[in-house]
Amino acid sequence: MAKIIPFKAVRPTRAIVGLVAARPYQSYTVNERESRMDYNPYSFLHIINPGYKYDQVITGEERYKLVRNRYLEFKEDGVFIQDKKPSFYVYKIVNRFGQEFNGIIAATSAEDYEKDIIKKHENTIAKREKTFKTYLQTVGFNAEPVLLTYPDNDVILSIIKDTQKSHAEFEFTMTYKDTHYLWKVDDEATIATIQSEFDNMETIYIADGHHRSASSHLLYADEKTKNANHDGSEPYNFFMSYLIPESDLVIHEFNRLVKDLNGLTKEAFLIQLDSLYRIENRGNIPYHPSKPHHFSMYLDGEFYSLYLRKKRYAFNTALDELDAHLLYKTILQPILGINDLRDDNRIEYVNGRHEMITIKSSVDSGEFKVGFGMCPANIKQMKHIADEGLKMPPKSTYILPKLRSGITIYEF
């Protein structure tokens, strides 16, 4: 039974919301960040990069305290205002490719995360979890929702569509040509209906934001221990999420680029591949796989198709069926010697929204020796892996929508 609650969001004013909203901090280059902060005093980047004001890099808890200060200044200056009634927020994104995402921003339960009602499919790094927990405790807010997905639901869909018939609180377009819309839902009967529908769901799934949700759970566990009067209603019991139906989720693959052949010649490498794959040289014709367990490869100026010899590989779990894991277990680890997909600097990742020509140009440049492409995972695979308590390798999925920071803020 998934528990969600409305909350009083802190939001930018309608006039400047498009100036405030920002992509995740690490998605900008240094030049992009500096340019936006030079010319846009309202950007949320000013809050999360407070050292810009003093023209220096500030890290650790000193930075967190300054983030809190910049946030309070935005509130004092009227850039942010807080809604007077607890609300859900219907949110729509239409990207430049015409893909549309519709869902509800709400506060979701850290206890549900603990009980595995909110299910995970990716491993997290304990150090990052603890660092971000400390950050949350210091700044006192969530500014970017965790992306959660739920089974398609006709009642919730009807509420979303009916809400969207009214004038949107926000409507703005970002520089990447994604248009965002927000509607406030504060009618108590409608709120109760939405909560009841989620209460009937046995599980919901994290699509994107595993570290943010894990850190919010650590915060909840820490604050609960310190609070002798804890009753489960405190704001730290929840974290902000954007919940969308499974049919709205778009999943791309992450393709792999490797810098060397682990000491092998091209011929020796192909011979080792042959034991597990049927290999066809496609010459200079770009090939993209159309079936699970098929891979594309670009090596030494030529494209190859790789078809798994299934009698040589055992499918025992849902994870075994995942192509990102299959590539790791059959090629990247045993042949190319890449054991740590997260930290090995010999491997890099390119999201599947880019064509195979990106793989080709990266290898042709000499920076990489070989590139691999695969089919994307699907929501059914993600759920099966989560249901079995297993975890995907890093960079297994590139999931849309990508959310912005600073549009709705949850305080605790």
Do 315 and 198 reside in the same domain of the chain?
no
Q: What is the pLDDT of residue 410?
A: 98
Centre a 10 Å sphere on the Cβ of residue 353 and count the other Cβ atoms it contains.
Answer: 12
| The predicted structure's pLDDT at residue 310 | 84
CATH number at residue 275: 3.30.1760
Residue 201's domain comprises: 4-251+400-411
131 and 177 together in one domain = yes
Weakest mean pLDDT among 190-199, 261-270, 337-346: 337-346
Co-location of 263 and 345 in the same domain: yes
Are 277 and 221 in the same domain? no
For position 146, what pLDDT does the model report? 98
* pLDDT tens digits, 192-235: 999 999 999 999 999 999 999 999 999 999 999 999 999 999 99
Residues 207 and 238 in one domain: yes
Q: What is the pLDDT of residue 97?
A: 86
Q: Given pLDDT bands bounded at 50, 70 and 90, which one contains residue 124?
A: confident
343 and 404 fall within a common domain: no
pLDDT at 354 over 80: no
Q: Please tell me whether residues 405 and 384 are part of one structural domain.
A: no
pLDDT band at 343 (very low <50, low <70, confident <90, very high): confident
Q: Are residues 174 and 68 in the same domain?
A: yes
Among the ranges given (96-100, 267-271, 300-304), the one the predictor scored with the smallest mean pLDDT: 96-100
Answer yes or no: do 383 and 278 share one domain.
yes
Assess whether 227 and 351 both reside in one domain: no
**Count of structural domains, the chain:** 2
Which of 49-58, 205-214, 289-298, 336-345 comes out lowest in average pLDDT?
49-58
Task: Say what the pTM is.
Answer: 0.93
Indicate if 212 and 173 belong to the same structural domain: yes
Task: Please provide the average confidence, as pLDDT, over all residues in the chain.
Answer: 94
Residue 290: is its pLDDT beyond 90?
A: no
93 compared with 29, residue with greater pLDDT: 93
Mean pLDDT of 121-145: 93
With 80 as the cut, is the pLDDT of residue 10 above it? yes
Identify the residue with better confidence: 163 or 177. 163
What is the per-residue pLDDT for 269? 98
Confidence of residue 34 (pLDDT cuts 50, 70, 90): confident
pLDDT at 355 over 80: no
Regarding whether 360 and 262 lie in a shared domain, the answer is yes
